[in-house]
A and B are shown apart, each in its own frame.
Chain A
């Protein structure tokens, strides 16, 4: 291949490669990095998350929203969110901000339009940060036990933990099928302008790869469903004894109370600041 000489030699990379993305997803899903919220009772972590998921929608004040945003940003740092998830968030956040400015300018809006859009962006960003901090700290068992404890249907709680169990397998399988397409599909004549053919090919491969992935998965789940029946899964849905045993290990300590108290204080602080220095300044 004449073009091969000009191309840089390939080498095994530990970051920004497909393998790295897979590992990052696993690290995130299984809460392997530890952090502030990881050692807390999962019910309180979900409670903490709900505070930040709900409160931003009760205000229009930018000072309050900026404060909440900062609190969540600190929580993200303390929860040791991995670089992939954080990078995706920052990327999305920056793009969103640019889009807001562009949209305001393009549609002839003024400062108030920008501020209205900034408000929405801040609210969404705060909720995203809070969910990152909370869910990076919950491994599948904690999350599913917490849902069960909060009286979510048993099917939902189980589905969460089963989904996590399938995640590594599905990722591996998907990667294999995509590799198969890469090797066996017709080679591209050229990348095209700005590599548009590569983009189209990548997109169509990912879509085509879902067909074998879904069929292979469907075949597997037949055994799983039978096994669930023999392991008393439906029995447990009708008899509460299993639920009691499963949740016996959930015990809140005073640090969980401290977490919620500190959160409430911080939120209250944000609103106080908003009272003192309201933004945008209300005229007349």
Chain B
């Protein structure tokens, strides 16, 4: 294919304009772009800036599949995408979607990976399949059904599926969106590995500046359907104000270093930031946060064992002897790897499931003695995937469903006040499914507020949100305390844990292995490692600098830095 080894660009775009059929405005408004072979490019930009549309021109989905007004040229490894079919282009460009789960079309992993090579009738399909699975470390999953896999494994399989065609370019659309940070890191390691070993050009669409800084070589900022600039990563991150304006807040470490040592270059990794901050007086004592007053018990689990049957007939134990008391006024984060039992614990608290052994009580009521509907006014569970919460055809009805059904007086006034609080009054008559990710989360929070429960349970409320929407959801969780007595969040998002939680319960293998506060959790690297969690950058920076306990936010790091006199810095020289 690419017999001529002259250093042509992997992707060349000239004067590209594109408008979707029926759309009033152009999605791409004049793109000129060159991505070199072997580059790792991060495409960043706000919602609607044309990132995804641009990337779909690389593999010909635009304009062959999405026909519309297309002008200009796109060349991939010298091949004009306009005169080449999507099928032929897929040998040059692989595309992994944001909702990668829907990209998997075959029952088993091996089938999925071999699907494209077999369709194209390639005689070495078996070797290609094994090679792709080997490269991404999923060979041991070959005979598993794809629906049995965790999100991270599914993403690797989707990647293996495109890799089996040995493409020159791989496009990955927001890997962090549906994966927790630790797994997203695994994906990035796999991508950089492919880049190093095979020289594959990697293009990622990414919101999180932290990942951009660590893994990308060049950054392409998109706005209003055209590139603003395309720069080497360090130069790009120097322009933090411009990035911030486009909804890409600077990584925490960059913010900290800029505030303390303005002259230093932008740090891309935690060690770089620590290096830049050597000599800066830091490490003052943490401000003693008063422990929140312990309220009465809202819910408790006593000696709870639970498990579920498998297709094969065996019993998988999920919770093994869990004792836990949740009290009024608490903000509890439930953390732990996949399969640790977080979701099961939440389901037991709703009463939808009752434990095989032990007792679950909610406000003194044993969940075995009542139907789940009778508990529903005391416990509310907000699912990880918001669309599963949307039972009606508009947001207002969804929020009103519970209070109206229970005959709450003034339901309409209540719903109006909730809509106002979650700032969705203008969108209240839309179907929840049509809202953006952040709006969907706020709508589900509104459903929870409509229930006015004593105990609110949230499953991954910040997953698949960009940084700005995530901060909005965290702020909203902050304000729940007035209405809801106890909130439990099951999450992988350590930013959420650091910014919001007072208490962290760590589950591993169905047991509670730690019950502590965020700072103490982050300061225990062995515990973090054993459950596969990665602390936020600012915590890692604090730990690297020897701060004990580590700071939980940039503001805290700066405060503690300023509060200390020069003598403190000798300790960690």
> A141 to B383, Cβ gap below 8 A?
no
In whole angstroms, how far apart are the Cα atoms of A88 and B59 in the complex? 49
- Per-residue 0/1 for B86-123: is the Cβ within 8 Å of any A Cβ (1 yes, 0 no)? 11011000110101011111111001000110111101
B406 interface residue per 8 A CB criterion: yes
Binding site for B on A (CB under 8 A): 1, 4-5, 7, 9-12, 14, 19-20, 23, 26-27, 30, 32, 139-141, 161-162, 164-165, 168-169, 173, 176-177, 179-187, 208-209, 211-212, 215-216, 219-224, 226-236, 239-242, 244-246
> A227 to B387, Cβ gap below 8 A?
no
Cross-interface CB contact of A224 among B65, B102, B393, cutoff 8 Å: B102
Find the B residue at minimum CB distance from A187.
B373
Shortest beta-carbon distance, A177 to chain B, in Å?
6
Q: What residues of chain B lie closer than 8 Å to A239, measured between beta carbons?
A: 120-121
The A-contacting residues of B in range 451-503, CB under 8 angstroms, are: 451
> A231 to B121, Cβ gap below 8 A?
no
> B374 to A187, Cβ gap below 8 A?
yes
Find the B residue at minimum CB distance from A30.
B311
Nearest 5 CB-CB pairings of A with B? A241-B121, A186-B405, A232-B119, A236-B119, A223-B102
Find the A residue at minimum CB distance from B93.
A230
A231-B161, A245-B121 are known contacts. Are A165 and B388 too (CB-CB below 8 A)? no
Give the number of chain B interface residues (Cβ < 8 Å): 73
- 12 A-B pairs whose Cβ atoms sit less than 8 Å apart in the complex: A1-B374, A19-B309, A139-B107, A164-B107, A165-B107, A184-B447, A212-B388, A227-B95, A230-B59, A231-B119, A231-B161, A235-B120
> B387 to A216, Cβ gap below 8 A?
yes
In whole angstroms, how far apart are the Cα atoms of A228 and B95 in the complex? 12
B61 interface residue per 8 A CB criterion: yes
In whole angstroms, how far apart are the Cα atoms of A240 and B119 in the complex? 9
Q: A139-B107, A245-B118 are in contact. List 14 more A-B contacts (CB 8 A).
A: A10-B368, A169-B147, A183-B381, A184-B391, A185-B373, A186-B405, A209-B391, A212-B390, A226-B61, A227-B103, A230-B59, A232-B87, A236-B118, A242-B121
A176-B383, A186-B404, A230-B59 are known contacts. Are A23 and B309 too (CB-CB below 8 A)? yes
> A23 to B391, Cβ gap below 8 A?
no
> A236 to B120, Cβ gap below 8 A?
yes
A212-B390, A216-B433, A230-B61 are known contacts. Are A184 and B402 too (CB-CB below 8 A)? yes
A14-B309, A232-B87 are known contacts. Are A185 and B388 too (CB-CB below 8 A)? no
Shortest beta-carbon distance, B388 to chain A, in Å?
5
Shortest beta-carbon distance, A131 to chain B, in Å?
21
- Per-residue 0/1 for B339-357: is the Cβ within 8 Å of any A Cβ (1 yes, 0 no)? 0000000000010111110
In whole angstroms, how far apart are the Cα atoms of A76 and B145 in the complex? 26
> A215 to B433, Cβ gap below 8 A?
yes
In whole angstroms, how far apart are the Cα atoms of A208 and B401 in the complex? 13
A14-B309, A216-B388 are known contacts. Are A187 and B405 too (CB-CB below 8 A)? yes
Find the B residue at minimum CB distance from A231.
B116
Task: Identify the interface centre among A9, A183, A215, A221: most chain B CB within 10 Å of its CB.
Answer: A183
Q: What residues of chain B lie closer than 8 Å to A245, measured between beta carbons?
A: 118, 121, 123, 125
Find the A residue at minimum CB distance from B108.
A141
In whole angstroms, how far apart are the Cα atoms of A10 and B350 in the complex? 14
> B147 to A236, Cβ gap below 8 A?
no
> B405 to A32, Cβ gap below 8 A?
no
Cross-interface CB contact of B86 among A223, A229, A236, cutoff 8 Å: A229
A12-B356, A179-B352, A231-B90 are known contacts. Are A19 and B308 too (CB-CB below 8 A)? yes
Find the A residue at minimum CB distance from B451.
A184
In whole angstroms, how far apart are the Cα atoms of A244 and B125 in the complex? 12
B293 interface residue per 8 A CB criterion: no
A-B Cβ contacts below 8 A, count: 176
> A27 to B311, Cβ gap below 8 A?
yes
In whole angstroms, how far apart are the Cα atoms of A181 and B146 in the complex? 29
Find the B residue at minimum CB distance from A164.
B107
Shortest beta-carbon distance, B59 to chain A, in Å?
6
Q: What residues of chain A lie closer than 8 Å to B106, measured between beta carbons?
A: 161, 165
In whole angstroms, how far apart are the Cα atoms of A276 and B355 in the complex? 61
> A236 to B105, Cβ gap below 8 A?
no
Q: What residues of chain A lie closer than 8 Å to B528, measured between beta carbons?
A: none
B288 interface residue per 8 A CB criterion: no
B376 interface residue per 8 A CB criterion: yes
In whole angstroms, how far apart are the Cα atoms of A156 and B234 in the complex? 52
B337 interface residue per 8 A CB criterion: no
> A10 to B354, Cβ gap below 8 A?
yes
In whole angstroms, how far apart are the Cα atoms of A49 and B341 in the complex? 44
A165-B146, A184-B391 are known contacts. Are A26 and B311 too (CB-CB below 8 A)? yes
Task: Identify the interface centre among A19, A180, A184: most chain B CB within 10 Å of its CB.
Answer: A184
Q: What residues of chain B lie closer than 8 Å to A219, measured between beta carbons?
A: 387, 433
> B393 to A211, Cβ gap below 8 A?
yes
Shortest beta-carbon distance, A202 to chain B, in Å?
13
In whole angstroms, how far apart are the Cα atoms of A182 and B381 in the complex? 13
Q: What residues of chain B lie closer than 8 Å to A176, measured between beta carbons?
A: 383, 388
B370 interface residue per 8 A CB criterion: yes
The A-contacting residues of B in range 125-181, CB under 8 angstroms, are: 125, 145-147, 161-162
B284 interface residue per 8 A CB criterion: no
B5 interface residue per 8 A CB criterion: no
B327 interface residue per 8 A CB criterion: no
Find the B residue at minimum CB distance from A243.
B121
> B120 to A12, Cβ gap below 8 A?
no
In whole angstroms, how far apart are the Cα atoms of A184 and B448 in the complex? 10
> A182 to B372, Cβ gap below 8 A?
yes
> B105 to A227, Cβ gap below 8 A?
yes
